Amino acid sequence: MDTNRSGVVVRRGRPAGPRTIGLVCAVAAAGALLSGCGSGGSDTASPQKSAAPSRAVPATAASPSGSLNADQAQRKALVPRAKVDYGQALKAAIAAVPSSEAIAAELKGTPSSPYWDTVVATTDGTAYSVRVDAVSGKAQKPQPQSDDPDDKQELAARLGKATVTAQQAAQTATEKTKGTVTTIELGDADHGNDTVAWTVGVVTTDDWNETTYEIDATNRKVLWMHVDQD
């Protein structure tokens, strides 16, 4: 593993994502924009790491011929259809669950019916999934998640450690890569050490690649980044 002077790490292959307690994956549905959520959403091995730039990531061509692969084509079809962004979706979800905080959002669905799959939680670690229409911004009835005491305790501890909001983490990511936030999730940092981190996915609309950042949820430091060009 190599790092540059800013300490940011570039990952090759698909990103592992934060080690969450499975709350977001429990509400996954067919037609998701990405192949999965968190480290449990993929069967691929952990990617290798190499040096990364600290500046904004430049756009790269999808292929020598300019054609799009399946993932890029799916993003191109879905992302422009979402009239409600991640921030508006999280605001609607929080309004649906009083005294809650945002912990995840992912753009899913089809071009004709896009929606945000969001998760919010109260300070005691009780989590709720809330589906928000990505065109109208209307939130559906919240659905309670795991009642397991250990899960709730772990999530409550994570919320207590996080001082960086979802919006601040997204701002940090989009300052590095200009684009549309399509996923954001609070979890344990990939490198461990009891670090809480936000994982933020940003899609660039000139090439429809996705850049994923892991951002420390206590100081907004970028821990690693990955550009999905598969």
Q: What string of H, E and C letters represents the secondary structure of 85-148?
A: CHHHHHHHHHHHCCCEEEEEEEEEEECCEEEEEEEEEECCCCEEEEEEECCCCCECCCEECCCC
Cβ atoms of 42 and 36 closer than 8 Å: yes
Which strands form 143-144's sheet, in the order they lie side by side? 49-51, 9-11, 222-228, 210-216, 196-203, 180-188, 100-110, 113-122, 127-133, 143-144
Residue identified by tokens 């989590």 is 127
Q: Nearest Cα to 223, choosing from 184, 173, 179?
A: 173
C-alpha 186/C-alpha 18 separation (Å) is: 7
Per-residue CA distances from 126 to 88, 111, 167 (Å): 22, 32, 21
Return per-residue pLDDT of the chain as tens, 230 residues.
445 444 555 554 444 444 443 444 443 333 343 433 333 333 333 333 333 444 444 444 444 446 899 999 999 999 999 999 999 999 999 999 999 999 999 999 999 999 999 999 999 999 999 999 999 999 999 999 988 999 999 999 999 999 999 999 999 999 999 999 999 999 999 876 789 999 999 999 999 999 999 999 999 999 999 998 66
C-alpha 17/C-alpha 189 separation (Å) is: 8
C-alpha 132/C-alpha 209 separation (Å) is: 24
Residue 224 φ/ψ, nearest 5 degrees: -160, 165
Cβ atoms of 184 and 210 closer than 8 Å: no
Sorted by sequence, the CB contacts under 8 Å of residue 148 that are 6+ apart come out as: none
The pTM score is 0.74
Question: Angle 110-132-176 (CA atoms, 0-180°, nearest 5)?
Answer: 80
